[in-house]
């Protein structure tokens, strides 16, 4: 079995406590539980493969409370470049979201990532976001991104539109600014189409990332480039949502 039980979540007990509180707040009588389970041909996280370019399984859960609190989590069978086999990569998050009379929504929350077999990668983030219609923007701040010792701000813009015959077009643009080591900053983008039929989701996307320098800075990423370089990859995902 390559999905091993997680090690203790080092470095972020406070974050997980806060996330747990958000989940408890969300788990009211009106709580709505949704999620998905599926496979992706490559687990790309902000333009970087966290599954060594291999297919990965993913299970995610989301809980919404009536008061605006939300929480959730995800586990992915990832494989870091330094690892010889797949390991569980965990994500927990919680926060509060509210829709304003104007139709604009805002959110604020925290997330924590834990990597089985590589606890030094564990990190946490705080995020704030705005959404309107089919567009959203989010800022994530991490005091120690992936354990590199880098403070980072990740900005993302997401959008989408319905296409004929039940298909949907979506896109994302993101920029990770490494505040201590600008050379680790990178831009990434995603564009794709998706459809959902009776609870099944199919997504096909083209993901691209432009790395400015030594990739992950400490060489943790797969084959870091020596200079600025754009990489792209087509990713296929199939999931059952519930």
Partner 1 sequence: MKPGVFLVLWLMAALAAWPGAQASAQAAAHAATEPARTAVQPAAGAAEILVMLHLPAPHFRADGYSGASYRDDAGRQARQRIAQALAREHGMRLMEDWPMPALNVDCFRMRLASGQDPAAILAALSRDGRVAWAQSIQDFNAQGGAGAATAGDPLYRVQPAAAPWQLEQLRKSATGRKVLVAVIDSGVEAGHPDLAGQVALQENFVDGQSYVAEEHGTAVAGVIAARADNGIGIAGIAPEARLMALRACWQADGGTRCNSFTLAKALNFALLHNAQVINLSLSGPQDRLLQQLVGVAQARGIRVVGAIDPARGDGGFPANSPGVFAVAADDTPRHGAQCLQAPGRDVPTTMPGARWGMVSGSSYAAAHVSGMLALIGELKPQLSGERLHEGIVRSSGPAPLTGIDLCATIMRITGKCSCACPNPSTDNLARSP
Contacts with partner 1, residue ranges (CB under 8 A): 1-3, 28-30, 32-39, 55, 57-60, 62, 64, 66, 68, 70, 72-74, 77, 86, 91, 93, 95, 97-99, 101-103, 105-107, 109, 111, 127, 129, 131, 133-134, 136, 138, 158, 160, 162-163, 166-168, 170, 194, 196, 198-201, 239-242
Comparing CB distances to partner 1, the nearer of 7 and 136 is 136
Helix (H) or strand (E) holding 30: none
The tokens describing 227, both together, are 């200079």
Q: Determine contact, residues 174/156, Cβ cutoff 8 Å.
A: yes
Minimum separation from the CB atom of position 183 to partner 1 (A) = 28
Comparing CB distances to partner 1, the nearer of 55 and 225 is 55
Q: Which residues contact 196 (CB under 8 A, 6 or more apart)?
A: 166, 168, 202, 241
For 150, other C-beta atoms within 10 Å of its C-beta total 23
Q: Which residues pair with 88 in a beta bridge?
A: 77
φ, ψ (nearest 5 deg) of residue 221: -75, 160
Comparing CB distances to partner 1, the nearer of 10 and 99 is 99
Comparing CB distances to partner 1, the nearer of 86 and 212 is 86
Minimum separation from the CB atom of position 162 to partner 1 (A) = 4
Comparing CB distances to partner 1, the nearer of 200 and 230 is 200
Alpha-carbon gap, residue 65 to 131, rounded angstroms: 19
Alpha-carbon gap, residue 25 to 34, rounded angstroms: 16
Alpha-carbon gap, residue 205 to 235, rounded angstroms: 5
Minimum separation from the CB atom of position 223 to partner 1 (A) = 23
Comparing CB distances to partner 1, the nearer of 38 and 215 is 38
Alpha-carbon gap, residue 133 to 23, rounded angstroms: 26
Alpha-carbon gap, residue 181 to 221, rounded angstroms: 16
Alpha-carbon gap, residue 77 to 89, rounded angstroms: 6
Minimum separation from the CB atom of position 86 to partner 1 (A) = 6
Minimum separation from the CB atom of position 213 to partner 1 (A) = 27
Minimum separation from the CB atom of position 54 to partner 1 (A) = 10
For 62, other C-beta atoms within 10 Å of its C-beta total 16
Comparing CB distances to partner 1, the nearer of 110 and 178 is 110
Minimum separation from the CB atom of position 224 to partner 1 (A) = 25
């Amino acid at each position: 079995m390559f999905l091993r039980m997680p090690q203790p979540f080092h470095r972020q007990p406070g974050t997980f406590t806060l996330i747990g509180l958000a989940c408890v707040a969300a788990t009211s009588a009106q709580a709505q539980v949704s999620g998905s389970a599926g496979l992706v041909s490559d687990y790309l996280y902000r333009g970087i493969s966290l599954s060594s370019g291999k297919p990965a399984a993913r299970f995610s859960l989301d809980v919404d409370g009536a008061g605006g609190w939300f929480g959730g989590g995800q586990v992915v069978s990832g494989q870091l470049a330094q690892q010889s086999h797949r390991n569980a990569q965990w994500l927990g998050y919680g926060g509060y979201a509210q829709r304003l009379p104007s139709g604009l929504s805002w959110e604020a929350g925290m997330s924590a990532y834990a990597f089985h077999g590589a606890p030094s990668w564990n990190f946490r983030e705080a995020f704030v976001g705005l959404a309107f219609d089919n567009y959203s923007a989010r800022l994530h701040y991490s005091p120690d991104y992936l354990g590199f010792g880098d403070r980072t701000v990740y900005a993302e813009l997401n959008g989408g539109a319905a296409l004929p015959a039940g298909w949907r077009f979506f896109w994302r643009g993101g920029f990770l600014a490494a505040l201590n080591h600008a050379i680790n900053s990178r831009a990434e983008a995603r564009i794709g189409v998706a459809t959902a039929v009776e609870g099944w989701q199919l997504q096909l996307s083209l993901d691209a990332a432009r790395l400015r320098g030594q990739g992950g800075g400490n060489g943790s990423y797969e084959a870091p480039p020596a200079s600025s370089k754009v990489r792209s990859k087509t990713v296929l995902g199939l999931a059952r949502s519930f």
